[in-house]
Amino acid sequence: MKGFIYFFQYALKKQPKYIILSVLSTLMSALSPVLLIYIPKLILDTAAEGFEEEAILFVLLYVASFLILNIGTSWVGYGASNYSSRLFSDFQMDMSEKLMDADLDMLESNAFKEQSEKAKNYIYAGGWGFGYIFTCSLQIIQFSITAISYICIIYKFSILLVAVNLLFTLISFRVGGRIKQKEKQDQDEKIKHERKTHYYTEIISDHKYMKDIRVFSYKPTLLRKMKKHYDANVRFYARIRGRLVLSETLSNLFYVIQIGLGYFFVISMLVGGTISVGDFTLYISALTSYAQIMGAILDKIVYVHSYDMYFQDFKDYMNIPKMQSASGRIVDRTMPLSIEFRNVSFRYGTSDTYALKNINLKLDSADRIAIVGENGSGKSTFIKLLMRLYDPDEGTILVNGVDIREYSYEDYISLFSAAFQDYSLFAATIEENITMNDQEKMDEIFVNELTEIGLLDKVINRYPRHFDTSVYRIFDDNGIEPSGGEGQQIAIARSLHRDSKIKILDEPTAALDPKIEYELYQKYDLITRGAISFFCISQAGKLQVCKPHSRFFQRKYSGGRFPHRADAKKWSVFGTVQLSGVALSK
């Protein structure tokens, strides 16, 4: 019931009209079948006794009741569905905001991904739709009201039959419930099967994978792995179907016994003249409907209980640790910035391997800092920790002598702009991908700076809509699929647009052709515009063409010392697996 209560409270807060219309629809649906089986009894009895006018009135009452209840229920249900869509939209927005504020390290963990899938079983009830647990709970109430009405009708004829029906109901609940409880285990296993199925479906439909599949003849191996997985799927779903057939068989058996006993008893009463034809039709309708509706109640109770078991997963999912905090200190931008790493170590997720280990270094307000190291040496990790995209597992990072966790997250992150090696573009216009704000336009001065640097000239001039050109074709059929070099230029332009104190260039030219790369390095001063800059590269030789880096001065850190005025050509020998072998220079 915790899941039902949570959803009820959430809906009452966000869309109260949804609750009102849903409850009204439930009551109308509960009364409708009872009235529509009771009125025919009145019609038959009055007609059999020769009361023709009364019989006609009851017919008109039946038609009016049918129209009012069924059409009314449809329109009330239509209104409830509309508010349900609004509620779902509210819920999606809340979830999206939580995920965008969450701890990145947790989002990348396999445990969180599995928890996410389990939480979706509460949210979407295994594919039945948003809020299905709430709908099922209301249906249990609806069916219970209707079932009690049927019991009252049956009781009018025989208390013994009431007892027999209740006995079969209890047996059906006991046996059917045990079978259906297995569905929780099935759902947990289904999550794993569907995650693997999704992976295989994705890679064979994504052209990025297809190139390697064909070039390296991966097709036979991939098909063998897919067949093994799909064979396991066949066995899994066969087991589920077998359990479903067993449940249906037992339900049908109990149903036939109940109906058979009921028919035998009522026919004997009709032949004996103790009940009228109208009573006979009323009782048979009530008995048949009762048996069916009790089966439906059992199904809904099991569904609610099964998916309610995922509520704790959902609750944990909703309480994702939030790294961001609006409260906290504000960075003093009037004084020179100093950055210090004290015994900083970090591992991704549950990995046993440290991406960085015992890093100790102090950087004063240096205007140029080059970080040179092999791929996988921890350059990007160092930057992400500095930007507080992740928090270190051990140690402390200080800016101006203050632990960066004490600063307001939004104020602290505003110190930075970055062009990441693993940049992301969004399905929006080129301009929005640069400004990262659909309400903001680039001014002429900035566009001229891009032109002077040589960024995007060839990209923009290729398209009639220029900066209004959409990236990707998800929302715009006339969108573009940018190449790696074009995408990297947009990412660099994005980092330049933000007026920040610290600029990060993480392998910023990895996908650019040599000519554009050379031109960008020659304009390094304009790119950084006087901000402190961190320049991450894997090849020290690139520093030769970057004018501000003609000389490098010694820095101290846990890995040792580097030669005073070291030549850029010699820096390649210092790249090692950990940051303790990464060259930092001013």
pLDDT tens, residue by residue, 406-436:
898 888 888 888 888 778 888 888 888 888 8
Closest by alpha carbon to 310, among 97, 106, 126, 93?
A: 126
Nearest 5°: the CA angle 41, 46, 48 is 95
Let me know: does 422 contact 104? Beta carbons within 8 Å: no
pLDDT value, residue 577: 27
Find the angle CA(299)-CA(300)-CA(305) to the nearest 5 degrees.
100
Confidence at residue 585, expressed as pLDDT on a 0 to 100 scale: 42
Contacts for 259 with CB less than 8 Å, ≥ 6 apart = 287, 288, 291
3-class DSSP state for residue 430?
helix
Mean of pLDDT over the chain: 75
Please, which pLDDT band fits residue 222 given cuts at 50, 70 and 90? Answer: confident
CATH of the domain spanning 2-187+245-318, picked from 1.20.140.10, 1.20.1250.20, 3.90.1150.10, 1.20.1560.10? 1.20.1560.10
Instruction: Quick: pLDDT tens for 431-453.
Output: 888 888 877 788 888 888 777 77
pLDDT single digits (tens) 94-117:
777 777 777 776 676 666 777 777
Nearest CA among 351, 363, 430, 368 for reference residue 398:
363
Residue intervals of the chain classified under CATH 3.40.50.300 are: 367-392+406-585
For residue 397, the cross-strand partners are: 341
Do 432 and 438 meet the contact criterion of CB atoms below 8 Å apart?
Answer: yes
Q: Which of 530, 489, 528, 486 is nearest to 508 (CA)?
A: 489
Long-range contacts of 80-88 (CB under 8 A, 24+ apart): 80/18, 80/21, 80/22, 80/25, 83/15, 83/17, 83/18, 83/21, 84/15, 84/18, 84/130, 84/131, 86/14, 86/15, 86/18, 87/10, 87/11, 87/14, 87/15, 87/18, 87/130, 87/131, 88/130, 88/131
Residue 545, pLDDT score = 42
- Look at residue 398 in the predicted model and tell me its pLDDT: 92
pLDDT at 138 over 60: yes
Pairwise CA distance, residues 417 & 420, whole Å: 10
Q: Two tokens at 314?
A: 């959902």
C-alpha to C-alpha distance for 512 and 508, rounded to whole angstroms: 8
Angle between helix 484-497 and 514-522 (nearest 10): 20
Instruction: Encode pLDDT of 242-291 as tens digits.
Output: 777 777 787 778 778 777 877 887 788 788 877 777 778 888 888 788 77
Q: Has residue 383 got a pLDDT over 70?
A: yes
Which runs of E-coded beta strand occur in 388-475?
394-399, 402-403, 416-419
pLDDT score recorded for residue 548: 39
Pair of tokens at residue 16:
């109260």
Could you give the CA distance from residue 119 to residue 319 in angstroms, rounded to a whole number? 12
- What is the model's pLDDT at position 323? 61
Mean pLDDT, residues 135-148: 85
* Residue 550 clears pLDDT 60, i.e. is over it: no
Indicate whether 71 pLDDT > 70. Answer: yes
pLDDT at 496 over 70: yes
Query: What is the pLDDT averaged over residues 480-485?
Result: 82
Q: Would you state the pLDDT for residue 396?
A: 94
Helix or strand run (H / E) with residue 182: helix 159-205
State whether residue 507 is helix, strand or coil. coil
Q: Thinking of the domain 367-392+406-585, which architecture would CATH place it in? A: 3-Layer(aba) Sandwich (3.40)
pLDDT band at 395 (very low <50, low <70, confident <90, very high): very high
Contact 176, 250 (CB under 8 A): yes
pLDDT at 554 over 50: no
CA distance 287 to 274: 18
Percentage with pLDDT > 70 across the chain:
77
How do residues 513-541 score in pLDDT, each as one tens digit? 677 677 676 666 666 666 777 877 776 55
Q: Give the residue range(s) of CATH 1.20.1560.10 domains in the chain.
A: 2-187+245-318
Strand, helix or coil for residue 473: coil
DSSP-H helix ranges across 498-552 = 514-522, 524-528
Please give the structure tokens belonging to residue 47. Answer: 């007609």
Q: Using a cut of 0.75, tell me whether the model's pTM lies above it.
A: no
Which pLDDT belongs to residue 397? 93
Tokens of 34: 């009872």
